């Protein structure tokens, strides 16, 4: 059985700092455990 693929998430931010925390929380709340931020 193959290991799950790693998913990399890149969040570019420009004048959107008020949304950054929510975006990070959303990525970390995903059920896929093979992700990197």
What would the pLDDT profile of 6-23 be if each residue is shown by its tens digit? 889 899 999 998 999 999
Which helix (H) or strand (E) is 7 found in, with range?
Answer: strand 7-8
For the whole prediction, is pTM greater than 0.85? no
Tokens of 2: 């193959």
pLDDT score of 6: 85
pLDDT score of 28: 87
The residue ranges of DSSP E strands in the chain, in sequence order, are 7-8, 35-36
Checking if the pLDDT of 32 tops 80, the result is no
pLDDT score of 30: 85
Q: Which residues, 6+ apart, have CB-to-CB distance to 10 below 8 Å?
A: none
pLDDT score of 1: 83
On whether the CB atoms of residues 4 and 32 are closer than 8 A, the answer is yes
């Amino acid at each position: 059985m193959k290991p799950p693929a790693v998913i990399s998430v890149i969040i570019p931010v420009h004048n959107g700092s008020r949304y950054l925390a929510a975006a990070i929380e959303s990525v970390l709340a995903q059920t896929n455990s093979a992700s990197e931020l």
